[in-house]
């Protein structure tokens, strides 16, 4: 029925402009999203299946997966903790400079990632402000995977803060008060009353931060040191292949990143949708 109505809609639809706006949206998505992805697959068609697998399972490339996924996982977990804390502070307390801090949260989105990368590299290098304090203590950040994780954490923290923040705003302070009036300690109230509301958003935000970190390039290469098998990230491998004019090879590795990211995004979306329905009165 609904499909029929959709095709015969011209005269029955009340909101005007459906045809035009839908058409422009589809065109835009095609140009900006679908066309490049199709190009990617076009490149892949130059490879046989065996060649494809040889490229994506080459030792140096596999090592880069490990570095990327490991560092992204650490960055995402660190962001989960600190992102939650930041969101909590921004929603629950009033303090001078709150608006400024709130605006600063989006800086990693607005700042060119290369600028972030250079800044971090300068700060944490052996002669940098932070580097010359922590390196004598035996903590090496620049040119190790810790540096990679740091750069990833920097670029992806807004994902956690901005997904948790609205959910926390939606949770009235009365709910904490109710828990306390029933005798719950702060810890119990947080674990049993607040976290169950937050963790879907927290997992979503952390997942998005993780996916974002997988593809990050600009912020990382300056601080990573880029030693083969040690601190090379997958995005760099693609870049290296491109520099060698090996477009097919670059596309092969890119396709792996693309599939992993897409699969994760899809999983997050499906899972989140199910949870939201549950909370808002669908059948449990």
Partner 1 sequence: MSIRLQNIAKHFANTQALEPINLDIHEGELVGLLGPSGSGKTTLLRIIAGLENADRSPQPGKILFGDRDVTNVHVRDRRIGFVFQHYALFRHMSVYDNVAFGLTVMPKKRRPSNGEIRARVFRLLEMVQLQHLANRLPAQLSGGQQQRVSLARALAVEPDVLLLDEPFGALDAKVRQDLRRWLRRLHDELNFTSVFVTHDQEEALELSDRVVVMSNGRIEQIDTPDTLYRAPKNRFVFEFLGDVNHLEGRVRDGVLTCGDAHLNVDLPDGDEELLLRPHEVRLAEEPSAESHLPVTITAISPVGAEVRVELEADWLAKPWLATVRHADFERLHMRRGQRLFAHPRQWHRFKEDAKTPEQQARVA
Binding site for partner 1 (CB under 8 A): 172, 174-175, 177-185, 188, 192-193, 196-197, 278-281, 284
Rounded to the nearest whole angstrom, what is the least distance from the CB of residue 97 to partner 1 in the complex? Answer: 18
C-alpha span between 151 and 116 (Å, rounded): 8
Minimum Å gap between C-beta 189 and partner 1 is 8
Q: How far is the CB of 283 from partner 1 (least distance, A)?
A: 8
Closer residue to partner 1, CB minimum distance, 77 or 193: 193
The encoded tokens of residue 137 equal 């203590």
Task: Tabulate helix, strand, coil % of the chain (nearest 5).
Answer: 75, 0, 25
CB of 169 to partner 1, least distance (A): 15
* Cβ-contact 64, 189 below 8 angstroms: no
Contacts (Cβ under 8 Å, ≥6 apart) of 96: none
| Closest C-alpha among 138, 128, 152 to residue 74 | 152
Whole-number minimum distance, CB 203 to partner 1, in Å? Answer: 14
Nearer to partner 1, 5 or 276 (CB): 276
Between 23 and 196, whose beta carbon lies closer to partner 1?
A: 196
CB closer to partner 1, 1 vs 174? 174
| Nearest Cα residue to 201 out of 268, 152, 149, 116 | 268
- Smallest gap, in angstroms, from Cβ of residue 277 to partner 1? 10
Between 37 and 188, whose beta carbon lies closer to partner 1? 188
Q: Which is nearer to partner 1, 226 or 272 (CB)?
A: 272
Q: Are 248 and 47 in contact, with CB atoms under 8 Å apart? A: yes
Q: For 106, phi and psi rounded to 5 degrees? A: -90, -5
Measured at the CA of 28, the angle between CA 22 and CA 33, to 5 degrees, comes to 125
């Amino acid at each position: 029925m609904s499909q029929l109505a959709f095709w015969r809609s011209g005269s029955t639809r009340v909101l005007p402009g459906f045809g035009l706006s839908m058409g422009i949206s589809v065109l835009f998505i095609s140009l900006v999203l679908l066309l490049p992805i199709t190009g990617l697959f076009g490149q892949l068609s130059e490879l046989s299946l065996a060649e494809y697998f040889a490229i994506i399972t080459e030792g140096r490339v596999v090592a880069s997966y490990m570095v990327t996924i490991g560092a992204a996982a650490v960055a995402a977990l660190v962001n989960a903790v600190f992102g939650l804390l930041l969101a909590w502070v921004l929603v629950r307390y009033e303090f001078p400079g709150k608006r400024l801090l709130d605006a600063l949260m989006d800086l990693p989105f607005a700042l060119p990632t290369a600028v972030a990368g250079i800044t971090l590299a300068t700060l944490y290098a052996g002669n940098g402000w932070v580097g010359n304090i922590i390196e004598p203590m035996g903590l090496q950040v620049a040119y190790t995977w810790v540096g990679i994780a740091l750069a990833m954490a920097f670029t992806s923290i807004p994902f956690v803060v901005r997904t948790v923040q609205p959910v926390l705003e939606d949770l009235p302070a009365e709910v904490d008060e109710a828990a306390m009036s029933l005798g719950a300690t702060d810890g119990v109230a947080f674990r049993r009353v607040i976290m169950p509301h937050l963790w879907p958003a927290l997992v979503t935000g952390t997942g998005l931060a993780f996916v974002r970190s997988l593809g990050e390039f600009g912020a990382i290469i300056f601080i990573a040191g880029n030693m083969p098998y040690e601190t090379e990230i997958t995005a760099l491998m693609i870049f290296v292949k491109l520099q060698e004019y090996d477009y097919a090879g670059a596309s092969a590795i890119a396709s792996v990143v693309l599939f992993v990211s897409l699969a994760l995004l899809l999983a997050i979306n499906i899972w989140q949708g199910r949870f939201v329905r549950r909370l808002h009165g669908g059948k449990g």
